[in-house]
Each structure stands twice: as structure tokens, then as C-alpha cells.
Amino acid sequence: MTDREMTLTEVGDGCLAYLQGDGSWGWSNAGLVVGDGVSLLVDTLFDLKLTQRMLDTMADHTRSAPIATVVNTHANGDHCYGNQLVADAQIVATTAAAREMSDVPPSMLAALNRAPGEVGDLFRSFFGEFEFEGIELREPDRTFDGRLEVDVGGRTVELIEVGPAHTAGDSIVVVPDAGVVYTGDILFIGGTPIVWAGPLSNWIDACDLMLGMDVEHVVPGHGPVTGKAGVTAVRDYLAYVDGAATARHGAGVDAFDAARDIAREIGASEDFSELGEFGRIAVNVEAVYRQLDPGHESPDVVEQFRRMATIERS
């Protein structure tokens, strides 16, 4: 078990945030919305031990208000691989997230972590602290498109689809009576957002949507709890990358060369130089290039991780 600090904090009336350390690769957040006699869990974690530790930490709240619903905000494993431990709850996600969930099964990450040579070393450098063996991925029982309201013991919780953005099927979870929004990976606070799917314009629109909401407490998918200033910071990063990558695409610059060039700019900037995991710019530039040129072919996932590691070592 990791020695990272895990905290359960009430951020609004009956709304809790479960935070895992600095929120770097795989160390995602989750949330709990407690109603009258039932609760809703926002996301599970990357492996079974971490998820069980979280559920045990939440037990004082869920003993009298058992978890009836789990919302997976998207298909990445650090937000859904623990689903099997909430067997009595209904799992809800967007249709697109449910469709994408089987693309990267736990067995694939287990195999990559066990792989010999350079590939194994690469993936263990990102995910070596997690235990993917023995996870049986439980997929959603209920899907939705657009918006869905869920009653949680007399409280209305709003699920809003905002993808494709980070992934194909992102959603956010809004608790209007508490002024709380759980963003999934639409927000990385202190870390670099990573655009697996895009387009960046959808992600920027999602930030604008939250900036227009009557919310005070914002629980990101990774990193500390924030407010609207955190939403603005992520929006600003995405807008910067969109513009910088578009200019280089127009000039005929290779995507990886563009990513390395933008990484150097970011390192020298006052605005984004403190963000962790800055090598993710390699993936983000690929997303912009695919949007500008539907014929652009991004490298496979192993090569994308290799490129991120290369940029961070340079």
C-alpha cells in the first residue's frame, strides 16, 4: 500500500471529496454525495486495494446512507477499475464512456507492467505502484446522453455530458443545493491536462459551462479542491496549447517537433511552468493535429508514453 496521504474532506453540505496525494499519474480523486438514507459515489479508483481503502474511509457516512449509485465520469481506469467493489450499486456513465471502457482492460495494464525490457520499464515508471492483477472490470448498468438527473435521498444531482474532450465520454456531476461540482478529468489542478480524445474546443466549452454555474466548490479529477480560478487556469492552458499547436501545424511542423518546441515555451513561461507531468503536451498536440487534419495518424499508445517520457527527460 502506498504511503501517499489520502484525505476525505467535506467540501459542501453532505458532499465529500476523497483526494489522493498530488494527483499525479493514476492518483485520482473521487467524491461522495450523501442524501437521506442513500449516497452517490463519484468514481472508483485505479485498483482494488485503493478503492477498498477509500470505501473503508467513507464508512462512517455510508453506514447509514449506503451507496446506491456510482457515476463513472469517464472510461479511464483510475476512475472505474474499482467498480466491482460496489456490487450493490447501479453504475452510471455516458453512452460514449461505457463504449470506451473495455478499450483498455485492467489485464492490458497488468501485462504492460509485467513486460520485459524497455516497454515494461516505461510503463512501470508511470503505473508501477498500482496492482492491476485480479480486477474484473464492471461496466455501467445505465447509460445516458446529454443530461440526466439522479435523486439521491431527496437531493437532485445533475449529470452533464461534456465530452468528447479528455476522453470520448466525459461527464461532470453537479450538486446544485451545495454549490459543488465534481469534474472528473475535465480538471487537473497542479498537473497538466491530457487530451486523449479532443477536440480542445469541447473541453474549453466545458470549462466555460462550469464558469457560468452557481458553484463555489470544485472537485477535480486530480489535485486539490479548487474554485472557479482553477477552472479558468485549465481553460487558459488549453486555449494556449490550441493556438500554439495550430500555428505550428499551419507552418508544416511535425507534431512531435511541435510538442517539444511548445514544451520549451511552457518551461520558460510564468503561467504554466509549474504544472506537473508537462510531457503530456506530446499527446495534446496530437489531438490538435487530428482535429485540423482528420487524416493525421497519431502513434500508438506505447509510443505516446515514450514521447511524454522523452520530453520530461529533456
- The DSSP annotation for 15-46 comes to EEEEEETT--TT---EEEEE-SS-EEEE---S
C-alpha cell at 179: 454549490
Positions in the chain short of pLDDT 70: 1-3
- 265-300 tens-digit pLDDT: 999 988 899 999 999 999 999 999 999 999 999 999
State the SS3 of 70-112. EECCCCCHHHCCCHHHCCCCEEEEEHHHHHHHHHCCHHHHHHH
Instruction: Name the CATH superfamily housing domain 6-227.
Output: Ribonuclease Z/Hydroxyacylglutathione hydrolase-like (3.60.15.10)
pTM of the model: 0.97
Q: What is the pLDDT of residue 214?
A: 97
pLDDT at 270: 87
| Domain ranges across the chain | 6-227
Residues 6+ positions from 16 with CB-CB distance below 8 Å = 8, 9, 10, 31, 32, 33, 34, 58, 61
Residue 217: the pLDDT is 98
Ordered strands of the 171-175 beta sheet: 147-152, 155-161, 171-175, 180-182, 217-219
Q: What pLDDT score was predicted for residue 269?
A: 87
Q: What's the pLDDT at 3?
A: 67
Structure confidence at residue 1 (pLDDT): 42
Kindly report, residue by residue over 116-154, the tens digit of the pLDDT: 999 999 999 999 999 999 999 999 999 999 999 999 999
Cell of 74: 469517464
pLDDT of residue 296: 97
Contact (CB, 8 A) for 311 and 281:
yes
